[in-house]
Amino acid sequence: NAGVMQNPRHLVRRRGQEARLRCSPMKGHSHVYWYRQLPEEGLKFMVYLQKENIIDESGMPKERFSAEFPKEGPSILRIQQVVRGDSAAYFCASSPSTGDSNQPQHFGDGTRLSIL
Amino acid sequence: GQQVMQIPQYQHVQEGEDFTTYCNSSTTLSNIQWYKQRPGGHPVFLIQLVKSGEVKKQKRLTFQFGEAKKNSSLHITATQTTDVGTYFCAGSNFGNEKLTFGTGTRLTIIP
């Protein structure tokens, strides 16, 4: 059973370009979470999605960042007009849909985004 | 908003010594989870605690959930080099599947 798959593992962009990060949840999981981690820091919640719906985006910056989880295909975290401060590791996690909060989250290997 | 703090931020121990990290939430939690992240790796789920005062053990690891469900601790007995990494607690509130991660405790082992 494949785990959470994220790609690319490493992404380099120049300031002003767009970054697209992809996440395929574990088989049978319909909940996807995106986190951002700066070096030597903890995980900061960004957004929680279910298929075709954004459930909680309270951690997403109001501008330049967007996320989607379409009916078909992976979840996408999109960062437009990247700036140096966007450099970080972005982790995706998934959990099964059981209707309660008592589910562990399974993490992907992350995408290390570097902005030149 | 909810805040989850952990202490200490860093801990260096001799191999064989014990290690404890403490987690404190600003709000009452419905459950708490613990994760371990190796250097350069991703967080890996260790355990979940749900009941007030609950204690769970995994080999040399002991996890506790406070009576008020606002704090938790992880204790490792006789540390080994494989225990190296950052330990995060993560809590959620009732009716909310969003996890708030603690600030983490980074454990290094001196052989």
Nearest to A32, CA basis, from A74, A89, A87, A65: A74
> Across the interface, do B98 and A48 touch by the CB < 8 Å criterion?
yes
- Give the pairing of strands A53-56 and A29-37: unpaired
DSSP state of B52: T
In this prediction, residue A103 carries a pLDDT of 81
In this prediction, residue A25 carries a pLDDT of 96
Q: Hey, is the C-beta of A107 within 8 angstroms of any chain B C-beta?
A: yes
| DSSP SS3 for A13 | strand
Q: How far is A29 from chain B (nearest CA, A)?
A: 14
Alpha helices for A4-92 (secondary structure H):
none
Selected residue of B36, B42, B89, B92 to mutate for chain A interface (largest A Cβ count, 10 A): B42
In this prediction, residue A100 carries a pLDDT of 58
CB hemisphere CA count around A96 (13 angstroms): 5
Rounded mean pLDDT, B14-42: 95
Rounded mean pLDDT, B17-38: 95
| Option in B41, B43, B93 nearest A43 (CB) | B43
Give the pLDDT band of residue A40 (cuts 50, 70, 90). confident
> Across the interface, do B99 and A45 touch by the CB < 8 Å criterion?
yes
Mean pLDDT for chain A?
92
If you write DSSP's letter for every residue of A70-88 in order, what string do you get?
A: -SSS-EEEEE-S--GGG-E
Task: Dump pLDDT digits (tens) for A78-105.
Answer: 999 999 999 999 999 999 876 555 688 9
Rounded mean pLDDT, B19-48: 95
Rounded mean pLDDT, B53-67: 97
Contacts of B88 in chain A (CB under 8 A): 42-43
| Option in B45, B96, B103 nearest A105 (CB) | B45
Cβ proximity of A34 and A90 under 8 Å: yes
> Across the interface, do B30 and A101 touch by the CB < 8 Å criterion?
yes
Mean pLDDT for chain B?
94
Task: Dump pLDDT digits (tens) for A56-80.
Answer: 999 999 999 999 999 999 999 999 9
In this prediction, residue A102 carries a pLDDT of 67
Task: Dump pLDDT digits (tens) for B66-100.
Answer: 999 999 999 999 999 999 999 999 998 876 778 89
Q: Hey, is the C-beta of A31 within 8 angstroms of any chain B C-beta?
A: yes
d(CA B9, CA A6): 28
In this prediction, residue A93 carries a pLDDT of 95
In this prediction, residue B31 carries a pLDDT of 92
